[in-house]
């Protein structure tokens, strides 16, 4: 019996509507089409407190229910996707704070996809996230997605969705980097 791989997508935006969150949903749809079980941890829905180093080694004991939910999802994940808007040439503090609530044991040797939005598709945010993933002993896969406003459908009050998936999201996805 085969086990469906579980992927946790972690958003780094609090904005409504959010291109980064819309990108996250587009990636989740693509991964779901490959038979993966996908969960999006939307930080607009679950507000995490600023990280307190008291819980660094035992994040599962954090008194905050949102942190405990994030930790539970991370423990169940076989892989991750980190999504962030670009702020000051890097990823958001919201995403970094969420990662600070987790530990090496959650990421060790697991594949991590990196996606960002803004700055004319610059890779500056994913470059920084790649360093964070290395520090958590995760494996940042080589395929990354960086978008700009023109990659999305215009208008509406919901998170924008990718308008040209063939150009933006790879046709093949592999958690093993193959």
3-59, pLDDT tens digit by residue? 689 999 999 999 999 999 999 999 999 999 999 999 999 999 999 999 999 999 999
In a domain, 1, yes or no: no
In a domain, 62, yes or no: yes
In a domain, 124, yes or no: yes
Q: Sheet holding 111-117: strands in order across?
A: 37-41, 6-11, 79-85, 111-117, 139-147
In a domain, 71, yes or no: yes
Domain count, the chain: 1
Res. 156 pLDDT band, cuts 50 70 90: confident
CATH label of the domain that carries residue 157: 3.40.50.360
In a domain, 103, yes or no: yes
Q: Is the pLDDT of residue 176 over 90?
A: no
In a domain, 58, yes or no: yes
Q: Which domain holds residue 14?
A: 6-168
pTM: 0.90
In a domain, 95, yes or no: yes
CA–CA distance, 117 with 23 (Å, rounded to integer): 8
Q: Is the pLDDT of residue 172 over 60?
A: no
């Amino acid at each position: 019996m085969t086990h469906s791989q579980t992927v946790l997508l972690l958003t780094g935006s609090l904005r409504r509507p959010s291109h980064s969150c819309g990108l996250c949903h587009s990636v989740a749809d693509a991964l779901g089409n490959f038979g993966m079980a996908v969960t999006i941890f939307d930080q607009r829905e679950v507000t995490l407190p600023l990280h307190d180093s008291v819980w660094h080694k035992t994040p599962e004991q954090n008194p905050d229910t949102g942190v405990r939910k994030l930790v539970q999802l991370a423990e169940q994940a076989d892989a991750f996707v980190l999504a962030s808007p670009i702020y000051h040439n890097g990823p958001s503090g919201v995403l970094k704070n969420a990662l600070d609530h987790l530990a090496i044991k959650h990421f060790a040797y697991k594949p991590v996809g990196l996606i960002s939005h803004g700055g004319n598709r610059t890779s500056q945010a994913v470059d920084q996230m790649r360093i964070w993933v290395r520090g958590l002993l995760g494996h940042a896969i080589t395929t990354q997605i960086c978008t700009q406003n023109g990659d999305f459908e215009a208008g509406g009050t919901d998170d924008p969705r990718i308008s040209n998936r063939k150009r933006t999201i790879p046709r093949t996805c592999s958690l093993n980097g193959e």
